[in-house]
Amino acid sequence: MTDAPITDAWIRRLNLLQLVVAGIIVLTPTLWMVLSSLKPSFEVTAYPPTLVFAPTLENYAQLTKTTPFLSYAINSLIVTIGSTALGLLFGIPAAFAVSWTRISWPAILTLAARMAPGTLFLLPWYVMFRQVGMIGSYTALILSHAVITLPIVIWVLLPSFDGIPRSVFEAAQVDGCSVTRILWRIALPLVASGVAVASILAFVFSWNYFLFALVLSNGDSKTLIAAAFNFIGEGSTQWGALMAAATLIALPPLILAALVQRWLVSGLTLGAVKG
């Protein structure tokens, strides 16, 4: 039996090795993007590719000089924050009502909407928004992105509301509290961490969403993601600026996700897995 601990140690080492290999595969492409964005422009397309170089911010400077990057970023922020707020405004009361009544069809309705291909709505939206002259407006973009954020808010908050003991609500009812008052005064503070996770997930997926802005935005309201094409077009010979744009676009969701990584998994599966 003396060799058992040795085998255990080896198994652990082998597992650690696999973890490191997986980590390298996951990290390397992202790292390559960031490195390329910091290379002097003549060196980005060097072949063989270089690993040692004098880092520079010239690609970032060029990006802000040759493209309206900042105004795209502001458009992205307006649409993302607007749609996240709208998702919370509609989603919080709906999640509470579904949790209270156990009548789940409103939650399933929003989820079904999330599962259909976005192009399905985009056609009629395009026809309708064009008729009322709303193509390119923030309103159209925020409304369309709220279709993404609403189910996230509802399905992340459902288990949180379900976790509150019913006796808490009953006690409040005996004291004469209305249902609406119970939601805002009692239930909502109890699920504050759930609201934080829901907000961040809604923000990330609204920020990352490509399809709707591709059609519904115009030159003035173009979001960063929809503008990615412009960077690729101009970047065919300028990988440095292209990778600088990619890095900056990826930064907000990555930072936010890192903040709530511990709670992300159960939220991401829309309640299908209890993390």
Partner 1 sequence: MSEAAATFTEDRQRLELAALSAPAVIFTVAMIAFPVVYTVWLGLHSFSSTGKQSFVGLANYSRLLADTEFWHGLWVTIALYVLSLVLQLVFGVWLALVLFHAKRLPGIVRSLFISPFMMPPVVAGMMWLVILDPSLGAANYILQSLGLPPSEWLASPVWVIPTVALIDTWQWTPYVALIVLGGLQSLPPSVYEAAQIDGASAFKTFQRITLPLLLPTIVTATILRSVDLLRFFDIIYITTQGGPGNASNTLNIYGFRVGFEFFNIGYASALMLTLTAIVFGAVLAFNRLRGAVAW
- Report the site for partner 1 in 6-65 (rule: CB under 8 A): 11-12, 15-16, 18-19, 22-23, 25-27, 29-30, 32-33, 36, 45, 47-49
Give the helix ranges, DSSP H, for the chain. 4-37, 41-44, 58-66, 69-101, 105-115, 119-131, 138-162, 166-174, 179-181, 188-190, 192-208, 211-216, 224-234, 239-259, 261-268
Question: Should residue 244 be labelled a site residue for partner 1 when binding is judged by CB under 8 A?
Answer: no
- Extract the tokens encoding 86: 């709208």
Segment near partner 1 (CB under 8 A), from 57-65, 66-74, 131-139, 256-264?
256-264
For partner 1, which residue of 141, 197, 204, 241 counts as binding (CB under 8 A)? 204
**In the complex, least distance from residue 22 CB atom to partner 1, rounded to whole angstroms:** 5
Per-residue contact string for residues 62-101; x = within reach of partner 1 by CB under 8 A: ---------------------------xxx-xx-xxx-xx
Q: Residue 158 and residue 160: Cα distance in Å, rounded? A: 5
Amino acid at the residue 180: T
The residue whose two tokens read 């173009």 is: 222
**In the complex, least distance from residue 61 CB atom to partner 1, rounded to whole angstroms:** 19
Query: Which residue lies nearer to partner 1 by CB, 30 or 74?
Result: 30
Q: Which of 208, 163, 164, 199 is nearest to 88 (CA)?
A: 199
Q: Residue 13 and residue 91: Cα distance in Å, rounded? A: 46
Q: Residue 98 and residue 94: Cα distance in Å, rounded? A: 6
Query: Which residue lies nearer to partner 1 by CB, 193 or 269?
Result: 269
**In the complex, least distance from residue 157 CB atom to partner 1, rounded to whole angstroms:** 11
For partner 1, which residue of 141, 239, 241, 267 counts as binding (CB under 8 A)? 239
Query: Which residue lies nearer to partner 1 by CB, 68 or 93?
Result: 93
**In the complex, least distance from residue 121 CB atom to partner 1, rounded to whole angstroms:** 5
Residue numbers 209-228 binding partner 1 by CB under 8 A:
210-211, 214-215, 225, 228
Give the distance, in angstroms, between the CA of residue 93 and the centroid of all CA atoms in the same chain: 22
- Extract the tokens encoding 146: 């709220």
**In the complex, least distance from residue 57 CB atom to partner 1, rounded to whole angstroms:** 19
CA distances (Å), origin 224, targets 118, 203, 209, 253: 19, 14, 10, 13
Amino acid at the residue 266: S
**In the complex, least distance from residue 47 CB atom to partner 1, rounded to whole angstroms:** 5
CA atoms within 13 A on the CB side of 212: 27
How many residues touch partner 1 (CB under 8 A)? 94
**In the complex, least distance from residue 261 CB atom to partner 1, rounded to whole angstroms:** 5
Q: Residue 204 and residue 253: Cα distance in Å, rounded? A: 5
For partner 1, which residue of 5, 6, 54, 117 counts as binding (CB under 8 A)? 117
Residue numbers 134-193 binding partner 1 by CB under 8 A:
143-144, 146-147, 150, 154, 178-180, 183
**In the complex, least distance from residue 189 CB atom to partner 1, rounded to whole angstroms:** 17
Q: Residue 133 and residue 154: Cα distance in Å, rounded? A: 31
In the chain, the DSSP E strands lie at: none
Amino acid at the residue 68: P
